[in-house]
A = this chain, B = another copy of it.
Amino acid sequence: MSEDDFGIRDGEIAVELPKNFDASLYFIGRIRTPWKTRDECPKNARESEAVCTIEVDPRWAQALTGVGTCTHLVVLYWMNRSRRDLVLQMPRHYAIGRGTFALRSPARPNPIAMSVVRLVGIEGTRLSVVGLDCLDDTPLVDIKPYFASTDSVTDAVVGWHAANKT
């Protein structure tokens, strides 16, 4: 992992973090992926058809009841190797700083990533899914059913990103 994954680049701005935390999380499992370094990870999840494995802690086995009837899931996981104090970031390949809340970067006050995945199989507490782009051994925070009625917005636009492509 290179130095600048943890450092600040020119144009980036960090703030002082709050003195205290407000709530705490349990890691409920681990995500197994083929990617051992950030450079190996796909730039976004739609780039890869790799099947990844979500290993849920046996304690929560019964909480998976009915999950197998879902075609797609929302997965929340913990990007535990990212700094939390950046408010303005300079993603590689972009010349302008972007606010943390306008980015999906793992560097954010609460480094929880959200991915929509396609469920391809369940065996006990192991879920096979397509659509993740995280490092191997990433801590799992939550699994939810994906409801097209409330979670799917086909015409949503991220303006700064769309402008960048034209």
Residues of A bordering B, CB below 8 Å: 13, 15-18, 21-28, 44-46, 56, 59-72, 74, 76, 78, 80, 84, 86-88, 97-104, 108-110, 112, 114-116, 118, 131, 139, 141-161, 163
Contacts and interface: CB of A to CB of B under 8 A. Distances in A.
28 contacts: A16-B59, A22-B25, A22-B27, A26-B84, A44-B150, A63-B109, A64-B101, A65-B88, A67-B99, A67-B101, A68-B159, A70-B158, A71-B155, A71-B156, A72-B157, A74-B114, A101-B143, A102-B145, A103-B145, A110-B142, A112-B112, A145-B158, A146-B153, A146-B158, A147-B161, A148-B155, A151-B152, A152-B153
A116 to B, nearest CB: 5
**Copies of this chain present:** 2
A70 B102 CA distance: 8
A108 B142 contact: yes
A143 to B, nearest CB: 4
Contacts of A143: 101
Contacts of A63: 86-88, 99-101, 108-109
The residue among A18, A101, A112, A149 with the most chain B CB atoms within 10 A of its own CB is A101
A150 B45 contact: yes
B141 A110 contact: yes
A153 B88 contact: no
A110 B154 CA distance: 28
Contacts of A161: 145, 147
